Structure 1
Amino acid sequence: MRLLKLVPETTNIGFVRWRNVAMLISLLMIIGSVALVATRGLNLGIDFVGGQSMRVTFQESPPLDQLRSQVSGLGYGEGVIQEEFGTPGAQTEGHTVTIRMPLPQTGGEEAANVAAQQLRQLVEQGYPGARIESVETVSGKVSNELFRAGGLSLLFAMIAISIYIWVRFEWQFGVGALFALFHDVALTFGFFALTQLEFNLNIVAALLTIIGYSLNDTIVVYDRIRENLRKYRKMAIEPLLDLSINETLARTIMTSLSMLIALFVLLMMGPDVIFGFVAAILLGIIIGTYSSVYMAAPILIWLKVGPHSFLPKDAGPAERMPAGRNEGYDGAQV
């Protein structure tokens, strides 16, 4: 029985010939994302703007949508309701829910205390028998520290990755990887500015995941490019890049498609509390795959990389390209 191959071994798609169009589209999307963040801003969660957090145990499972609307109706911003997993059922100790609400924009500590009292009254009067386990406040100072730490983590991750690729390959590859990562992160920020989904620490974790996935895919392509640069020393850079991308295309499609299927199911059927996290990773897989093919590889042309760029001093005669398209390729086939 023959195995199904989504990408035939003779695949020869001319990706690089569309590099100018792809670059123009990407630059426009980056500019649009920056403009959206600057004009609409991000819907920062309680992690970054501070807020009230109340842990409540209800005798029966509460209507979460109704509770969320009531908390938001207090006028301090959109409430976040999260039901804790593993809590006892209604016939034992009840259902435990965490209620989070943004802090008032003005009024300082006194206004925060008033908001906490209003939230407490809403629960006690609207849900008789509910037991308030704890009330916590995330101050503006703590939220600012979290915001700064999240931003620095993204910046340092991108810089460290670029340095690694520079050392592992050459500086041109590091520049290409950094641009691809910036492209992925910028478009994800633009998505959250456009949709106004809550941007919290979970999304920072999603962005770091996106950076890791995009880097992994980019390194696979770069490693094949470097190998082919040494193997086919008389081949022009454009067909060499196309050859390298096509040789790794099966692995790229297999990995991306597997993750997209799992993430799509989780997006449709998963709990609301991780919707933004899953949406961010789902988008990141798509744009990360795109950037590895259309950003990271073609940018080497503009950086003047060619078969002559990394020749050792004792380089022998140039080798000709074999007849087989994927000869020597030991990657996975779909």
Structure 2
Amino acid sequence: MSRINRSIDFMAKRKIAGYISAILVVLSLVSLAVNQLKLGLDFTGGTLVEVSFQQAPELNDLRKELEIAGFDDVTVQNFGSDRDVLVRLGQGFSPTVGDSVLSAIKQNASYNVELKRAEFVGAQVGEELRDQGGLGMLLALGLVMAYVAFRFQLKFSVAAVSALAHDVIIMLGLFSVLQLDFDLTVLAAVLAVIGYSLNDTIVVADRIRENFRRLRTGTPTDIVNVSLNQTLGRTLITSLTTLLVLLALFFFGGELIHNFAVALLVGVVVGTYSSIYVAANVLLALKVDRDDLIVPEKEGLEEDDRP
């Protein structure tokens, strides 16, 4: 008979964790309803101006020059090479906006600058991107629920989707509270976090299922605790190595992927937490037990007739 060993009693604090998660989710939803998301140009529309420099410019200085010249909501990033720069403006398009940007840059540039293109990204395109992105996220959650229900059991499916919804809502809530630009790169980060969090949750769920079938003693809470302790090392190593990469992107990746890195940093931390406390918490709330995971026994073969 297998013995139950517990190093960390995670589930002893599951009610406190549940309250914390509920408060964060409610606050996030309130912020999304009141402040909403600060949508980037990908969704709201705006003007794109591409300029080419004779030598690589300093992007921070370039951004300050444009802000001093009176351009609002300016985003400056390299495009293709360190000498090609894409300037995104929140204002509407006019035939002279490209020349105005070029003129503002040339005032302080000591080298040649060439205007390559100036175009407008319409709000209609932004609305389509927003709607398609939202549908893509809902479709991803639906497919996840169907897969986990088929692979494990319905209770595991509800737990996994609850953890994913928890992660996404808190991520969006943080962007709403801080009023960070939400663009296509951040939407890609949200979808990436769904995959990351799901992978971690599946590993934990697989060990819980295995231990329910293998261990003959202990309550469901004990089984969940054992499973979480057995997968803790893998979870921490995966999270820490991922965070190291994301911290490098956050500090050295530049403005283009800054919010992308922020979203992933928050998503990895919240996703790791939800794999331990949200998914397991929901499983216990749904009263998962051994009967849910018993493998159906095949009927024995009939004995051969004796002569």
TM-score, scaled to structure 2: 0.88
Aligned twin of 1:135: 118
- Find the partner of 1:102 among 79, 85, 90: 90
Q: Summarize the alignment of residues 186-265 of structure 1 with structure 2, pairs less than 5 Å apart.
A: 186-265=169-248
Does the 8 Å contact 1:69/1:79 carry over to 2? no
1:226-280 deviation per Cα after TM superposition (whole angstroms, max 9, x unaligned):
1111112442100000001111111111111111122112212221211111111
**C-alpha deviation, 1:68, in angstroms:** 2.1
Report the AA paired with residue 98 of structure 1: L
Distance in 2 (alpha carbons) for counterparts of 1:20 and 1:81? 46
Q: CA deviation at 1:122?
A: 3.2
Q: CA deviation at 1:309?
A: 2.3
The one-letter code matched in structure 2 to 1:201 is L
1:62 alignment counterpart: 57
Residue 9 of structure 2 is aligned to residue 14 of structure 1: yes
The residue type paired with residue 28 of structure 1 is: I
Shift of residue 307 of structure 1? 1.7
Cα distance in 2 for partners of 1:81, 1:233 equals: 61
Report the equivalent of 1:160: 143
| Partners of 1:125 and 1:76 in 2: CA distance | 10
Query: Cα RMSD between the aligned structures?
Result: 2.0
What corresponds to 1:108 in structure 2?
A: none
Q: Shift of the alpha carbon at 1:193?
A: 1.1
Give the equivalent residue in structure 2 for 1:289.
272
Question: How far 1:75 sits from its partner (Å)?
Answer: 6.1
CA distance in 1, matches of 2:227, 2:242: 23
- Give the AA of the match of 1:123: L
In the TM superposition, residue 73 of structure 1 has moved relative to its aligned partner by 5.6
Corresponding residue to 1:121 among 93, 100, 109:
100
Cross-structure match for 1:27: 22
| 1:33 CA displacement | 0.8
Following superposition, the deviation at residue 143 of structure 1 comes to 0.9
CA contact (8 A) 2:46 2:88 kept: yes
Q: TM-score, normalised by structure 1?
A: 0.81
Q: Does the CA contact (< 8 Å) of 1:84 and 1:97 recur in 2?
A: yes
Q: Distance in 2 between matches of 1:307 and 1:17?
A: 21
Contact 2:36–2:176 (CA<8 Å) still a contact in 1?
yes
Higher helix share: 2
Residue correspondences, number: 290
Alpha-carbon distance between aligned partners in 2 of 1:33 and 1:285, rounded to the nearest angstrom: 17
Deviations 1:5-44 (A, max 9, x none): xxxxx76100011111101100100011111122222221
Task: Find the residue that maps to 1:62 and give its secondary structure.
Answer: coil
- C-alpha separation between the residues in 2 aligned to 1:86 and 1:126? 18
Say which is worse superposed, 288-297 or 63-72, in terms of deviation: 63-72
**Range that drifts further, 283-292 or 269-278:** 269-278
Q: The residue matched to 2:117 in structure 1 has which SS?
A: strand
Cross-structure match for 2:304: none
Q: Deviation above 6 Å: which 4+ runs of structure 1? A: none
**Secondary structure of the residue that 2:287 maps to in structure 1?**
coil
With 289-298 and 254-263 compared, the bigger mean Cα shift is at: 254-263
Task: Report the equivalent of 1:148.
Answer: 131
Alpha-carbon displacement from aligned partner over 1:149-173 (angstroms, at most 9, x marks no partner): 1111111111111110010001101
Distance 1:146 1:76, change over 3 A: farther
Distance 2:131 2:190 in 1: 15
Contact 2:6/2:229, CA 8 A, preserved across alignment: yes
Structure 2 Cα separation of the partners of residues 181 and 287 of structure 1: 10
